[in-house]
Structure 1
Amino acid sequence: MATKHFMLPAALLLAGCLRPTPTREAWTNDTSIEFPQFFEQPAVEVGADGGTVELSGTILRALDVAAADFLGPQDANTPCVDRRESHRYRVIQQHGVIFIRIDEDPQACGLTVPALHSGSQYAVGSDGQILRRLRDGEPDGSPVPTDAGPGILVPTSEVGRSFDAPDGSVPLPFIQAPNLDVGPGVRHGP
Protein backbone atom coordinates (compact mmCIF):
# COMPACT_ATOMS: atom_id res chain seq x y z
CA MET A 1 0.00 0.00 0.00
CA ALA A 2 2.83 2.43 0.88
CA THR A 3 4.43 1.67 -2.49
CA LYS A 4 1.37 2.98 -4.36
CA HIS A 5 1.61 6.34 -2.58
CA PHE A 6 5.19 6.85 -3.78
CA MET A 7 4.64 5.66 -7.36
CA LEU A 8 2.96 8.84 -8.62
CA PRO A 9 5.54 11.29 -7.16
CA ALA A 10 8.39 9.09 -8.38
CA ALA A 11 6.88 8.95 -11.88
CA LEU A 12 6.47 12.74 -11.95
CA LEU A 13 10.07 13.21 -10.82
CA LEU A 14 11.38 10.89 -13.51
CA ALA A 15 9.25 12.57 -16.18
CA GLY A 16 10.78 15.90 -15.20
CA CYS A 17 14.27 14.49 -15.67
CA LEU A 18 13.50 13.37 -19.20
CA ARG A 19 13.01 16.92 -20.46
CA PRO A 20 15.92 18.21 -22.51
CA THR A 21 18.06 20.73 -20.72
CA PRO A 22 17.72 24.25 -22.11
CA THR A 23 20.60 25.31 -24.32
CA ARG A 24 21.75 28.68 -25.52
CA GLU A 25 20.45 29.82 -28.85
CA ALA A 26 21.98 27.92 -31.75
CA TRP A 27 24.71 29.71 -33.68
CA THR A 28 26.91 29.07 -36.63
CA ASN A 29 30.64 29.56 -36.81
CA ASP A 30 31.10 31.14 -40.22
CA THR A 31 34.88 31.55 -40.37
CA SER A 32 34.57 33.48 -43.64
CA ILE A 33 33.37 36.45 -41.57
CA GLU A 34 36.34 38.60 -40.62
CA PHE A 35 36.15 40.73 -37.50
CA PRO A 36 36.95 44.42 -37.86
CA GLN A 37 39.69 46.13 -35.86
CA PHE A 38 37.72 47.24 -32.80
CA PHE A 39 40.48 49.47 -31.42
CA GLU A 40 41.65 51.01 -34.69
CA GLN A 41 39.70 54.20 -34.04
CA PRO A 42 38.69 55.78 -30.74
CA ALA A 43 35.15 54.90 -29.69
CA VAL A 44 32.47 57.38 -28.69
CA GLU A 45 31.41 56.52 -25.15
CA VAL A 46 27.67 56.31 -24.64
CA GLY A 47 26.49 58.60 -21.87
CA ALA A 48 29.71 60.65 -21.81
CA ASP A 49 29.09 64.33 -21.05
CA GLY A 50 25.33 63.85 -21.07
CA GLY A 51 25.09 63.51 -24.86
CA THR A 52 22.08 61.88 -26.44
CA VAL A 53 22.59 58.43 -27.94
CA GLU A 54 20.21 56.48 -30.09
CA LEU A 55 20.43 52.70 -30.53
CA SER A 56 18.31 50.78 -32.99
CA GLY A 57 16.37 47.80 -31.71
CA THR A 58 18.47 45.58 -33.97
CA ILE A 59 21.69 46.68 -32.28
CA LEU A 60 20.17 46.40 -28.82
CA ARG A 61 18.98 42.85 -29.59
CA ALA A 62 22.44 41.92 -30.96
CA LEU A 63 24.08 43.24 -27.77
CA ASP A 64 21.63 41.27 -25.66
CA VAL A 65 22.20 38.04 -27.62
CA ALA A 66 26.01 38.37 -27.45
CA ALA A 67 26.02 39.27 -23.74
CA ALA A 68 23.67 36.37 -22.91
CA ASP A 69 25.88 33.94 -24.83
CA PHE A 70 29.12 35.19 -23.32
CA LEU A 71 28.02 35.75 -19.72
CA GLY A 72 25.13 33.30 -19.36
CA PRO A 73 22.05 33.78 -17.23
CA GLN A 74 22.13 36.56 -14.65
CA ASP A 75 20.60 36.64 -11.17
CA ALA A 76 21.25 38.21 -7.77
CA ASN A 77 23.98 35.63 -7.03
CA THR A 78 26.00 36.26 -10.20
CA PRO A 79 29.57 37.28 -9.21
CA CYS A 80 30.61 40.83 -10.06
CA VAL A 81 33.11 39.80 -12.76
CA ASP A 82 30.39 37.82 -14.59
CA ARG A 83 27.74 40.57 -14.58
CA ARG A 84 26.81 42.37 -17.80
CA GLU A 85 27.33 45.76 -16.21
CA SER A 86 30.92 44.80 -15.34
CA HIS A 87 31.91 44.68 -19.01
CA ARG A 88 32.63 47.16 -21.81
CA TYR A 89 31.04 46.75 -25.25
CA ARG A 90 32.23 48.04 -28.63
CA VAL A 91 29.86 47.84 -31.59
CA ILE A 92 30.57 48.21 -35.31
CA GLN A 93 27.88 47.67 -37.93
CA GLN A 94 29.06 46.72 -41.43
CA HIS A 95 27.18 45.20 -44.36
CA GLY A 96 24.18 44.14 -42.29
CA VAL A 97 26.31 42.40 -39.67
CA ILE A 98 26.68 43.76 -36.14
CA PHE A 99 30.15 43.16 -34.72
CA ILE A 100 30.43 43.28 -30.95
CA ARG A 101 33.55 43.20 -28.78
CA ILE A 102 32.98 42.41 -25.07
CA ASP A 103 35.74 42.99 -22.52
CA GLU A 104 35.81 42.77 -18.75
CA ASP A 105 35.95 46.15 -17.00
CA PRO A 106 38.04 45.36 -13.91
CA GLN A 107 37.36 48.76 -12.31
CA ALA A 108 33.66 47.89 -12.11
CA CYS A 109 34.54 45.22 -9.53
CA GLY A 110 37.33 47.10 -7.75
CA LEU A 111 40.10 45.27 -9.61
CA THR A 112 43.08 46.76 -11.43
CA VAL A 113 43.61 44.29 -14.29
CA PRO A 114 41.20 42.06 -16.22
CA ALA A 115 41.41 38.29 -16.09
CA LEU A 116 43.31 36.47 -18.81
CA HIS A 117 41.07 35.67 -21.81
CA SER A 118 38.17 37.68 -20.40
CA GLY A 119 36.81 38.98 -23.70
CA SER A 120 35.06 37.84 -26.84
CA GLN A 121 34.06 39.00 -30.30
CA TYR A 122 30.70 38.34 -31.94
CA ALA A 123 29.25 38.72 -35.41
CA VAL A 124 25.46 38.89 -35.11
CA GLY A 125 23.05 39.03 -38.04
CA SER A 126 20.25 41.58 -38.23
CA ASP A 127 17.85 38.74 -37.29
CA GLY A 128 19.63 38.30 -33.94
CA GLN A 129 21.41 35.05 -34.84
CA ILE A 130 25.06 34.64 -33.86
CA LEU A 131 27.02 34.13 -37.06
CA ARG A 132 30.46 33.85 -35.51
CA ARG A 133 31.96 33.91 -32.05
CA LEU A 134 35.64 34.16 -31.16
CA ARG A 135 36.59 34.13 -27.51
CA ASP A 136 39.97 35.44 -26.39
CA GLY A 137 42.54 32.66 -26.42
CA GLU A 138 40.72 30.55 -29.00
CA PRO A 139 42.37 29.99 -32.38
CA ASP A 140 40.99 32.27 -35.07
CA GLY A 141 40.22 29.48 -37.51
CA SER A 142 40.11 31.87 -40.45
CA PRO A 143 40.56 30.23 -43.84
CA VAL A 144 43.21 32.78 -44.81
CA PRO A 145 46.60 31.72 -43.40
CA THR A 146 48.75 34.42 -41.90
CA ASP A 147 52.10 34.61 -43.70
CA ALA A 148 55.17 35.10 -41.56
CA GLY A 149 57.08 36.42 -44.55
CA PRO A 150 60.02 34.90 -46.35
CA GLY A 151 61.80 32.27 -44.33
CA ILE A 152 65.50 31.61 -43.95
CA LEU A 153 66.72 28.39 -45.48
CA VAL A 154 68.70 26.24 -43.06
CA PRO A 155 70.95 23.56 -44.58
CA THR A 156 69.96 20.05 -43.60
CA SER A 157 73.38 19.55 -42.03
CA GLU A 158 72.65 22.37 -39.56
CA VAL A 159 69.15 21.30 -38.50
CA GLY A 160 69.18 20.38 -34.80
CA ARG A 161 72.77 21.49 -34.32
CA SER A 162 73.08 23.50 -31.13
CA PHE A 163 76.52 22.80 -29.67
CA ASP A 164 78.21 25.82 -31.27
CA ALA A 165 77.96 29.34 -29.96
CA PRO A 166 75.04 31.21 -31.57
CA ASP A 167 77.27 33.61 -33.50
CA GLY A 168 80.43 31.52 -33.39
CA SER A 169 82.47 34.08 -31.45
CA VAL A 170 82.14 33.18 -27.77
CA PRO A 171 81.70 29.63 -26.49
CA LEU A 172 78.67 28.99 -24.35
CA PRO A 173 79.26 28.98 -20.54
CA PHE A 174 78.44 25.31 -20.05
CA ILE A 175 81.04 24.39 -22.67
CA GLN A 176 83.75 26.50 -20.94
CA ALA A 177 83.45 24.61 -17.65
CA PRO A 178 83.95 20.91 -18.38
CA ASN A 179 83.48 18.40 -15.56
CA LEU A 180 81.42 20.83 -13.46
CA ASP A 181 78.98 18.85 -11.35
CA VAL A 182 75.47 20.07 -10.61
CA GLY A 183 76.21 20.24 -6.91
CA PRO A 184 77.79 23.11 -4.99
CA GLY A 185 80.46 23.81 -7.59
CA VAL A 186 82.67 20.78 -6.89
CA ARG A 187 84.85 19.75 -9.80
CA HIS A 188 85.39 16.10 -10.54
CA GLY A 189 88.18 14.72 -12.63
CA PRO A 190 91.59 16.03 -13.64
Structure 2
Amino acid sequence: MRMRGVNVSWCVFPAALLLAGCLRPTPTRDAWTNDASIEFPRFFEQPAVEASAEGGAVELSGTVLHALDVAAADFLGPQDANTPCVDRRESHRYRVMQRQGILFVRIDEDPRACGLTVPALHSGAQYAVGSDGRILRRLRDGEPDESMVPTDAGPGILVPTSEVGRSFDPPDGSVPLPFIQAPDPDAGTGVRHGP
Protein backbone atom coordinates (compact mmCIF):
# COMPACT_ATOMS: atom_id res chain seq x y z
CA MET A 1 0.00 0.00 0.00
CA ARG A 2 1.30 3.43 -0.95
CA MET A 3 0.15 6.79 0.29
CA ARG A 4 1.42 9.87 -1.51
CA GLY A 5 4.75 8.37 -2.40
CA VAL A 6 5.40 6.90 1.10
CA ASN A 7 5.62 3.16 1.61
CA VAL A 8 3.45 2.45 4.70
CA SER A 9 5.31 -0.78 5.52
CA TRP A 10 8.46 1.26 6.25
CA CYS A 11 6.51 3.30 8.85
CA VAL A 12 4.71 0.37 10.46
CA PHE A 13 7.81 -1.77 11.05
CA PRO A 14 9.75 0.79 13.18
CA ALA A 15 6.57 1.67 15.09
CA ALA A 16 5.97 -2.02 15.84
CA LEU A 17 9.55 -2.40 17.10
CA LEU A 18 9.16 0.60 19.40
CA LEU A 19 5.88 -0.71 20.75
CA ALA A 20 7.33 -4.18 21.35
CA GLY A 21 10.23 -2.65 23.25
CA CYS A 22 7.85 -0.74 25.50
CA LEU A 23 5.87 -3.87 26.36
CA ARG A 24 8.84 -5.76 27.80
CA PRO A 25 9.23 -5.49 31.56
CA THR A 26 12.33 -3.65 32.70
CA PRO A 27 14.90 -5.91 34.33
CA THR A 28 14.92 -5.64 38.12
CA ARG A 29 16.86 -7.23 40.95
CA ASP A 30 15.49 -10.39 42.45
CA ALA A 31 12.31 -9.75 44.39
CA TRP A 32 12.77 -9.15 48.09
CA THR A 33 10.56 -8.04 50.89
CA ASN A 34 11.38 -5.55 53.60
CA ASP A 35 9.79 -7.34 56.55
CA ALA A 36 10.11 -4.81 59.39
CA SER A 37 8.95 -7.45 61.88
CA ILE A 38 12.35 -9.15 61.56
CA GLU A 39 14.65 -7.78 64.24
CA PHE A 40 18.38 -7.80 63.61
CA PRO A 41 20.57 -9.36 66.29
CA ARG A 42 23.28 -7.42 68.05
CA PHE A 43 26.19 -8.45 65.89
CA PHE A 44 28.93 -7.14 68.19
CA GLU A 45 27.54 -8.34 71.52
CA GLN A 46 29.87 -11.34 71.50
CA PRO A 47 33.30 -11.78 69.94
CA ALA A 48 33.29 -13.55 66.58
CA VAL A 49 35.54 -16.38 65.42
CA GLU A 50 37.67 -15.01 62.60
CA ALA A 51 38.25 -17.32 59.66
CA SER A 52 41.82 -16.09 59.17
CA ALA A 53 42.77 -16.65 62.81
CA GLU A 54 45.76 -18.93 63.37
CA GLY A 55 45.00 -22.51 64.29
CA GLY A 56 41.24 -22.45 64.07
CA ALA A 57 39.13 -24.02 61.39
CA VAL A 58 35.85 -22.43 60.34
CA GLU A 59 33.32 -24.39 58.35
CA LEU A 60 30.65 -22.66 56.26
CA SER A 61 27.62 -24.42 54.85
CA GLY A 62 26.58 -23.73 51.29
CA THR A 63 23.51 -21.90 52.63
CA VAL A 64 25.68 -19.50 54.64
CA LEU A 65 28.01 -18.95 51.70
CA HIS A 66 25.02 -18.27 49.43
CA ALA A 67 23.55 -15.77 51.95
CA LEU A 68 26.92 -13.96 52.10
CA ASP A 69 27.07 -13.84 48.31
CA VAL A 70 23.49 -12.53 47.98
CA ALA A 71 24.04 -9.80 50.60
CA ALA A 72 27.42 -8.74 49.17
CA ALA A 73 26.05 -8.63 45.62
CA ASP A 74 23.10 -6.48 46.71
CA PHE A 75 25.18 -4.11 48.83
CA LEU A 76 28.27 -3.74 46.62
CA GLY A 77 26.85 -4.40 43.16
CA PRO A 78 28.70 -5.96 40.23
CA GLN A 79 32.47 -6.22 40.49
CA ASP A 80 35.12 -5.87 37.79
CA ALA A 81 38.73 -4.74 37.42
CA ASN A 82 37.68 -1.05 37.54
CA THR A 83 35.78 -1.32 40.84
CA PRO A 84 37.32 1.12 43.36
CA CYS A 85 39.06 -0.42 46.37
CA VAL A 86 36.44 0.75 48.89
CA ASP A 87 33.65 -0.89 46.85
CA ARG A 88 35.33 -4.28 46.48
CA ARG A 89 34.02 -7.31 48.35
CA GLU A 90 37.45 -8.11 49.75
CA SER A 91 37.62 -4.62 51.29
CA HIS A 92 34.79 -5.44 53.68
CA ARG A 93 34.30 -7.53 56.82
CA TYR A 94 31.35 -9.86 57.24
CA ARG A 95 29.61 -11.24 60.34
CA VAL A 96 27.02 -13.99 60.05
CA MET A 97 24.54 -15.25 62.63
CA GLN A 98 21.73 -17.74 62.19
CA ARG A 99 18.51 -17.58 64.19
CA GLN A 100 15.18 -19.30 63.57
CA GLY A 101 16.11 -20.32 60.03
CA ILE A 102 17.17 -16.81 59.03
CA LEU A 103 20.76 -15.91 58.21
CA PHE A 104 21.72 -12.45 59.41
CA VAL A 105 24.65 -10.82 57.63
CA ARG A 106 26.44 -7.67 58.77
CA ILE A 107 28.74 -5.99 56.20
CA ASP A 108 31.22 -3.27 57.20
CA GLU A 109 33.92 -1.48 55.25
CA ASP A 110 37.45 -2.45 56.30
CA PRO A 111 39.42 0.78 55.77
CA ARG A 112 42.78 -0.96 56.32
CA ALA A 113 42.20 -2.99 53.14
CA CYS A 114 42.51 0.24 51.13
CA GLY A 115 45.21 1.93 53.22
CA LEU A 116 42.73 4.14 55.09
CA THR A 117 42.36 4.66 58.82
CA VAL A 118 38.61 5.21 59.19
CA PRO A 119 35.64 3.88 57.24
CA ALA A 120 33.32 6.14 55.28
CA LEU A 121 30.13 7.34 56.90
CA HIS A 122 27.23 4.90 56.39
CA SER A 123 29.47 2.29 54.82
CA GLY A 124 27.75 -0.80 56.21
CA ALA A 125 24.51 -2.74 56.07
CA GLN A 126 22.58 -5.55 57.71
CA TYR A 127 20.71 -8.27 55.87
CA ALA A 128 18.21 -10.94 56.82
CA VAL A 129 18.40 -13.72 54.22
CA GLY A 130 16.10 -16.73 54.08
CA SER A 131 17.42 -20.25 53.63
CA ASP A 132 16.26 -20.03 49.98
CA GLY A 133 18.66 -17.11 49.40
CA ARG A 134 15.93 -14.44 49.24
CA ILE A 135 16.55 -11.13 51.02
CA LEU A 136 13.86 -10.76 53.66
CA ARG A 137 15.06 -7.47 55.11
CA ARG A 138 17.83 -4.97 54.38
CA LEU A 139 18.91 -2.05 56.53
CA ARG A 140 21.74 0.14 55.32
CA ASP A 141 23.58 2.30 57.82
CA GLY A 142 21.91 5.69 58.10
CA GLU A 143 18.47 4.44 57.06
CA PRO A 144 15.66 4.60 59.61
CA ASP A 145 14.83 1.29 61.27
CA GLU A 146 11.06 0.73 60.94
CA SER A 147 11.18 -2.06 63.53
CA MET A 148 12.19 0.41 66.24
CA VAL A 149 9.01 1.55 67.95
CA PRO A 150 9.31 5.13 69.18
CA THR A 151 8.98 5.50 72.93
CA ASP A 152 5.97 7.39 74.18
CA ALA A 153 6.79 10.91 75.34
CA GLY A 154 3.83 10.90 77.69
CA PRO A 155 0.45 12.54 77.53
CA GLY A 156 1.85 15.96 76.61
CA ILE A 157 0.28 19.34 77.25
CA LEU A 158 -2.74 20.40 75.28
CA VAL A 159 -2.37 23.82 73.68
CA PRO A 160 -5.61 25.79 73.29
CA THR A 161 -6.42 26.67 69.71
CA SER A 162 -6.33 30.34 70.67
CA GLU A 163 -2.60 29.94 71.46
CA VAL A 164 -1.61 28.07 68.28
CA GLY A 165 0.58 30.31 66.11
CA ARG A 166 0.68 33.10 68.71
CA SER A 167 3.94 34.95 69.31
CA PHE A 168 4.73 34.96 72.99
CA ASP A 169 6.12 37.80 75.06
CA PRO A 170 9.81 37.75 76.00
CA PRO A 171 10.66 35.12 78.63
CA ASP A 172 9.56 36.18 82.15
CA GLY A 173 8.95 39.76 80.92
CA SER A 174 12.54 40.88 81.51
CA VAL A 175 14.43 42.00 78.40
CA PRO A 176 12.89 41.79 74.93
CA LEU A 177 14.64 39.45 72.57
CA PRO A 178 17.32 41.26 70.51
CA PHE A 179 15.77 40.47 67.15
CA ILE A 180 12.48 42.08 68.24
CA GLN A 181 14.00 45.36 69.54
CA ALA A 182 15.08 47.31 66.48
CA PRO A 183 13.25 47.16 63.18
CA ASP A 184 15.62 46.59 60.30
CA PRO A 185 15.00 47.60 56.72
CA ASP A 186 13.56 44.97 54.47
CA ALA A 187 16.35 43.32 52.51
CA GLY A 188 14.68 43.83 49.15
CA THR A 189 12.91 47.17 49.41
CA GLY A 190 14.77 49.17 52.06
CA VAL A 191 11.44 49.92 53.79
CA ARG A 192 11.50 49.73 57.60
CA HIS A 193 8.93 47.42 59.17
CA GLY A 194 7.95 47.25 62.81
CA PRO A 195 7.19 49.76 65.59
Does the pair score TM above 0.5?
A: yes
Compared CA separation, residues 84 and 162, structure 1 to 2 (3 A): farther
User: What is aligned with 1:100?
Assistant: 105
Give per-residue Cα distances to partners, 1:124-157, cap 9 Å, x unaligned.
1112111111222223233x63224325415336
Alignment of 1:148-167 (within 5 A): 148-150=152-154, 152-153=156-157, 155-156=159-160, 159=164
Who wins on radius of gyration, i.e. which is larger? 2
Query: Does 2:66 align with 1:61?
Result: yes
Compared CA separation, residues 163 and 133, structure 1 to 2 (3 A): same
- For the aligned residue pairs, the C-alpha RMSD in angstroms reads 3.3
Give per-residue Cα distances to partners, 1:61-100, cap 9 Å, x unaligned.
1101110111111111111011001111111110000001
Alignment of 1:105-144 (within 5 A): 105-142=110-147
Pairwise CA distance, 1:113: 2.2
Partner Cα distance (1:124, 1:137) in 2: 20
* Residue segments in structure 2 that go unaligned for 5+ positions in a row: 1-16, 186-195
User: What is aligned with 1:28?
Assistant: 33
Partner Cα distance (1:49, 1:93) in 2: 24
Q: Secondary structure at the match of 1:25?
A: coil
Number of residues paired by the alignment?
168
Q: Please give the TM-score of this superposition, normalised by the length of structure 1.
A: 0.70
Q: Percent identical across equivalent pairs?
A: 76
Q: Please give the TM-score of this superposition, normalised by the length of structure 2.
A: 0.68
Partner Cα distance (1:154, 1:39) in 2: 43
Partner Cα distance (1:167, 1:50) in 2: 71
